Structure 1
Amino acid sequence: MQVAGQVAALIGGQHVATDDVITVTDPSTGQPLSTVARCREAEVAQAVTAARRAFRDDWRHRTASDRAEVLRRFATAIREELAELATLESRDTGKPLSQARADVHTTAAYFEFYASTVLALHGEVVQPSAPGTMVLSVREPHGVTGHIIPWNYPMAMMGRTVAPALAAGNCCVVKPAEDAPLTPLRLGDLALEAGLPPGVLNIVPGYGEEAGAALAAHPGLDHLSFTGSGSVGAAVTRAAAAHAVPVTLELGGKSPNIVFADADLDAAVPAVVSSILQNAGQTCSAGSRLLVERRIHAQVIADIADRFAKARLGPGPEDPDVGPLISARQRDGVAGQVAAAADGCRIVTGGSVPADVPGGGFYYSPTLLDEVDPGSAAAQAEIFGPVLAVLPFDQPAEALRLANATQYGLVAGVWTKDVDRALWLAREAEAGCVYVNTFGGGVEVPFGGVKRSGHGREKGFEALASYTRTKSIVLRGKPCG
């Protein structure tokens, strides 16, 4: 909501303006799009206090059915605002409009899913260790949960982390990324309109080093989730550890698609292309490495190069194949990483900032790097742009070695008709998620990484359980007979 010329923070059900603002830039044009409140430590503290009050006085005491009904109304409100939310997300992030529409549906699906699954959340009766006792294990919400969400999928990431937290009975403080805070703030208003009590959901936009750092270090948090870079994730974890606050981390990846000669290439190649060009490659689970069996290497490379060359770049609201990167800094970072890799591999297509895209946005051409050294930065670093590194292999064991040869372990794709080989790779791959003859899963599929891709799981029933803590209750009675 606009207050004093800015999109205000949402704290305790009220729109709160700040003296300073953050200018949000349209990445498709490079021009200012809006201004939002610039929250700092004081606003974060106010939001945590509001969340604690709402948790203590209201939300924790509601039945699972009551909470589920509010979340269903929220999901309905999100779907009813499809056009507005998709346009806002497309302008705020630069992603193609069709992808933004899909994100609206995904966001609503999170609230629908957890509105249903929370009804199945239950404890246990434990076999007693002594006569005359009954032992109960019950699940309770943590209390106040913090959510530091990224700029690449602001709406869907808010749904992914907030929906299970609210369903379990927690109250939330969300810090959206300063580059793309508009849809999370709009979702906050829709939540109030759907009947979510004031203070249950608070949204404090601000810079990471101000609002994000204040939230991570706040002693009033009971749980924190963070999605972003490894370096910031480490800093967030250190800050939360000072108060023994548990943290769920999703820190990105360098995920492989492993394509064997027997794969259905009509399905595999489009999926490989989509997995790196979606959201201009700015996806934690992007398939940024292609491991391809050598005997089909030339054929697959030619097909991908043709698709990259034909991909239409343009402003997100015009629904191109590839939109801009989020900022000039991000675009320049991608360009610098590709330039540094140029001497160690072959640039098949792309490798430059396009000169013919109108509007002054932050575009980078879809780039295909072949003959990549497995130990090079091109094969190891998360470039976070539309850049695909290709590494050929001859044997399944070599493919597995290459797949596991990075510090990351978020997702992996395996493309083959050989069931034994697919199952072997799925079990041996160092990744939190392995997709066989597909790439990606729905809201019901647990998602998260191993190694430096983070720990903890989002999505699925496992995420709902993670937003609770177990309490053991031991009852002892006397015989009445």
Structure 2
Amino acid sequence: MLTQPDSLLKYLTDASDLRLPDGHFIDGAYQAARAGRTMSSEDPGRGEGFASFARGDADDVDDAVASSRKAFAFWRKTPPAERGRILARTAELIRRDSERLAIVECLDSGKPIAEARGDVSGAARTFEYYAGACDKLEGSSFPLPSNYVGFSQLEPVGVTAHIIPWNFPISTAARGMAPALAAGCTVVVKPAELTPFTALLLAELLTEAGLPAGVCNVVTGTGTEVGAPLVAHTGIDHVTFTGSVATGGHVMRACAANVTRSVMELGGKSPVVVLNDCNFDSTVANVAGAIFEHAGQICSAGSRLVIEAGIHDRFIEALGTRAEAISLGHGLRSPDMGPVSSADQRDRIIGFLDRARGRGAEFICGGQISPDTEAGKGYFIEPTIVAARPEDDELVQEEIFGPVLTVQKADDVDHALHLANCTRFGLVAGVFTSDFARAHQLARDIDAGQVYINEYFAGGIEVPFGGNKQSGFGREKGIEGLRSYCKLKSIAARID
């Protein structure tokens, strides 16, 4: 039985102590939706609603964009060092309220409390990182003839819209909001309707840290009623979107109508390439973590195991044993793995697995719905490993976004490279080998925006993140992420 202190378990039946907001955050304060509507946020670990929030529409979006446009006039002129001090204070406040934020994230998204705590810590580090970058944005000088001076400067792009996914609400919000604010932009955030609360709480903490009213606004509601009018709004200068390829296509078309800049992170089907000479035990642990963290609901999850034939049988046996030992349960009970996000997501994943059975796929482990043994509720799916499938199989080619690992058996290194590149996605990849030269050759030749070597999810906020092919374009995190919110101006002058 999974256990957790009563101080956490009480939130399974009563979330009132969390003081969750039920309005949009516009112009420095919480406001009810113009139409007066609300909707419920569900705890996927119980399959029940636990709190309500504002259900906005285009009128609320108009209010938020107008507020951010007004605030941009003075925020862009705020000295970079002062912007940095506000972001640094925000990092301190996130750490002060870290347990509250983690509990909210756990209830809203379903992830285990330890993972939620890690996400909150990462959000604090994100604001800390960009606090230090505010006064480091520098242009370049150009080598013109001696009677000319030429240089460039980076300017904030303007009012930015941020469409936040449900799988990493506080992490994704922070990695877009912090660099945008650091660059001198204002932000309008639309969190996913499944996970609205931590974006609202971040806006509240920013205000407490000294951020002027209107610089950060958050509008909650559905994608149709809030997200669509936001990305199509003529008052938006840049859109950062994280989500599916299909929805990303709609967002890009809306951006094209107004020639609005965008960064698109559209998911992946990331390979974990395991060669015969890998560190066996460490690699087994990494492969399991790559797919079963947050029940596989990670755009960069290692959802394909591309494994060299020499260790295939022994590795799959060890990995299956590890997967079968993973405990399931409500996130507040500290399980190894929590639920998937919703009934719809659960049914979608099971649809993939049922179709695979119909094609004769062999399941190493898992593949079934498994309600929380403690309460018999929630949207749980067993950790699942499917034996080697051909490269044109649906489980290889499509993003499942669940705790499902599909094996691809490679004859040799060249074949492994081919399999790694066999999908339309190109977000991340993992490479596990003791041969340093071979690792870097694969990193060079795999078409992905980021490659991890001998540790999946290696790196942090300092490392740029984004995809190739249908995984999107543009980069978040690192200094590249900061430049996404800048426009370059070149100046040339004759001086004699």
TM-score range, shorter chain: over 0.9
Tell me how far apart the structure 1 counterparts of residues 321 and 79 of structure 2 sit (CA, whole Å): 55
User: Which one of 393, 405, 409 corresponds to residue 376 of structure 1?
Assistant: 393
Match of 1:143 among 158, 166, 170: 158
Q: Does 1:432 align with 2:462?
A: no
Aligned AA for 2:349? V
Q: Does 1:289 align with 2:304?
A: yes
Q: Does 1:455 align with 2:451?
A: no
User: Where does structure 2 lack aligned partners over 5 or more consecutive residues?
Assistant: 1-15
2:439 is matched with: 422
Pick closer, same or farther for the CA change 1:328–1:418 going to 2, 3 Å: same
Check the 8 A contact 2:346/2:380 in 1, yes or no: yes
Paired residues for 1:77-92 under 5 Å: 77-92=93-108
Conserved in 2, the CA contact under 8 Å of 1:6 and 1:34? Answer: no
1:304 alignment partner in structure 2:
319
> Which stretch shifts more, 15-24 or 5-14?
5-14
Equivalence for 1:195: 210
Give the counterpart letter for 1:63 in structure 2. Answer: P
Alpha carbons 1:38, 1:205 under 8 Å: kept = yes
Are 1:28 and 1:359, in contact at CA under 8 Å, matched by a contact in 2? no
What does residue 101 of structure 1 align with?
117
Alignment of 1:53-452 (within 5 A): 53-56=70-73, 58-128=74-144, 132-342=147-357, 343-355=359-371, 357=373, 358-440=375-457, 441-452=459-470
CA displacement, residues 205-239 of structure 1 (integer Å, 9 cap, x when unaligned): 11001100011100111111000000000000000
For the residues of structure 2 that align with 1:432 and 1:388, how far apart are their CA atoms? 21
Alpha-carbon deviation of 1:119? Answer: 2.2
1:366: Cα distance to partner? 0.5
Do the aligned partners of residues 359 and 7 (structure 1) sit closer, same or farther apart at CA in structure 2, a change above 3 Å counting? farther
Query: How far apart are 1:14 and its partner, in Å?
Result: 2.2
Q: Which amino acid aligns with 1:32?
A: G
Give the match's secondary structure for 2:258.
coil
Letter in 1 for 2:152: S
> Is 2:39 the partner of 1:33?
no
Q: Is the 8 A contact 2:21 2:200 kept in 1?
A: no
Task: Using the TM superposition, give the Cα deviation of residue 323 of structure 1 relative to its aligned residue in structure 2, in angstroms.
Answer: 0.3
Aligned to 2:12: none
Root-mean-square deviation over aligned CA pairs: 1.5
After superposition, give the CA deviation of every residue in 1:321-351 in whole Å (9 maximum; x if it has no partner). 1100110000000000111112242111111
| Partners of 2:46 and 2:377 within 8 A in 1 | yes
How much has 1:187 moved relative to structure 2?
1.1
Aligned residues: 475
Which one of 486, 490, 496 corresponds to residue 468 of structure 1?
486
The CA deviation string for residues 257-293 of structure 1, in whole angstroms up to 9 with x for no partner, is: 1111110011111010011011110000000000111
Letter in 1 for 2:100: E
Moved more, 26-35 or 353-362: 353-362
Equivalent residue letter for 2:446: A
CA–CA distance in 2 between the matches of 1:460 and 1:377? 34
Residues 24 and 220 in structure 2, CA contact (< 8 A), matched pair in contact too:
yes
Aligned residue identity for 2:285? P
TM-score (norm 2): 0.94
Residues 164-223 of structure 1, C-alpha deviation per residue, up to 9 Å, x if partnerless? 100000000000000000111111111111111111100001100110001110011111
- Alpha-carbon shift at residue 6 of structure 1 (Å): 6.2
Instruction: From the superposition, tell whether residues 6 and 439 of structure 1 become closer, same or farther in structure 2 (CA, over 3 Å).
Output: closer
Give 1:229's aligned amino acid: S
Distance 1:117 1:12 in 2: 26
Q: For 2:335, what is the secondary structure of its paired residue?
A: coil
Q: Which moved more, 1:380-389 or 1:417-426?
A: 417-426
Contact 1:146 1:221 in 2 (8 A): yes
In 2, the alpha carbon distance for the partners of 1:32 and 1:436 equals: 41
Helix, strand or coil for the counterpart of 1:71? helix
The farther-off stretch of 245-254 and 132-141 is: 132-141
Gaps of 5+ in 1: none
TM-score for the superposition, normalised by structure 1: 0.97
Structure 1 CA distance for aligned equivalents of residues 185 and 92 of structure 2: 21
Q: Find the residue that maps to 2:61 and give its secondary structure.
A: helix
Determine the C-alpha separation between the residues in 2 that align with 1:245 and 1:40. Answer: 21
